Amino acid sequence: MTADSAARDSAAKDSAASNDNAAKIARSATLITVAPTGAELEKAAVPALPVTLDELVTTAKECAAAGAAQIHIHIRGADAKPTLDLGRLKDTVHAVRAATDLIVQLSTGGAVTDPYTHRLAVLDARPDGCSLTCGTVNFGDDVFMNPWGFMKELYAKTQEYGVVPEFELFDFGHIAALHRLLAELGPPAGGHVHCDLVMGVPGGMPGDAATLVQAVSALPAGATWSATGIGRTTLPVLLAALAAGGHLRVGMEDTVTFARGRAVTSNAELVERAAAVAALAQRPAMSPADARALLGVPDHRG
């Protein structure tokens, strides 16, 4: 055996060992991502929504204590409206990293009105991870635009910057586009494919157990996945995801109703509920350190 082939052999064994380790972590624990704010709700209508940096950091700390390992962030401006202002994004990444050990994932979806250039520039805030939606979808009365050329450019930038993408899948066509992206551009930063099924959006796939099982069966081999159900599909999707061995995303971006007739009072209570059900399912909430190992996210905290 030459030195080169011995080195390749050893790298392949390391990679196989780390895949085995990731698979073991994924089987024995549940990655909980909290999506606390989103871009659609108005603070005036939902006072518990975290919109300032202070509110976001407080929420992040509470959710980390309740069992979240990752936070999916949309930020707001001084007027509480959605923004992709780069300075604010950088401050946010810095502040959440300083206050918690959560994986900091920035949204590149933004609001339906955000231009592609601003959505690409989100990566310049150098987060740990980012969302990457794999296709256009009707989004209530709006359209959430993710044409192929934009997806490709965004994905190439995640690879260049070493930002770990989470592939957001709102519909079955998005799964086909994900296969195409991986085939054309290769594996993501971190080397592991992790997806998030976003279910129950009016215009996307429905949020029910049968659809979830079908979607999971179409994912790339070896991929891990989370699921979130919008609005009243939150609980059916949460229960189906745990039953099918998946991970969870919860938060006020996706639902502001805790139970019939009872509004969500904080993101932390959604994380607490998810962690309690995950513990019942014998796959308790995953630590941020294990989530980093699973997703291939380096720890950038100083």
CB of 290 closer than 8 Å to CB of 25 = yes
Give least dist CB 7 to ligand KMH, A. 38
Round to whole Å and give the CA distance between 269 and 236.
17
Single out the segment in contact with ligand KMH by CB under 6 A; choices: 108-116, 218-226, 237-245, 291-299.
108-116
CB of 196 closer than 8 Å to CB of 249 = yes
Three-state SS at 127:
coil
Give least dist CB 226 to Zn ion, A. 13
Question: Residue 108 binds which entry of Zn ion, ligand KMH, none, with Cβ cut-offs from 5 to 8 Å by kind?
Answer: ligand KMH
How are beta strands 164-169 and 129-133 bridged, if at all?
parallel
User: Does 272 contact ligand KMH by CB under 6 A?
Assistant: no
The candidate with the shortest Cα–Cα distance to 174, out of 201, 205, 211, is 205
Which x/- pattern over 144-173 shows residues binding ligand KMH (rule: CB under 6 A)? x-----------------------x-----
User: Does 136 contact Zn ion by CB under 5 A?
Assistant: no
CB of 188 closer than 8 Å to CB of 165 = yes
User: Does 107 contact ligand KMH by CB under 6 A?
Assistant: yes
User: Does 128 contact ligand KMH by CB under 6 A?
Assistant: no
Helices (H), the chain: 3-28, 53-66, 86-99, 116-121, 148-161, 172-185, 209-217, 234-243, 267-280, 288-295
Which x/- pattern over 87-116 shows residues binding Zn ion (rule: CB under 5 A)? --------------------x---------
Residue numbers at the binding site for ligand KMH (CB under 6 A) = 38-39, 107-109, 111-112, 131, 133, 139, 144, 168
Residue numbers at the binding site for Zn ion (CB under 5 A) = 107
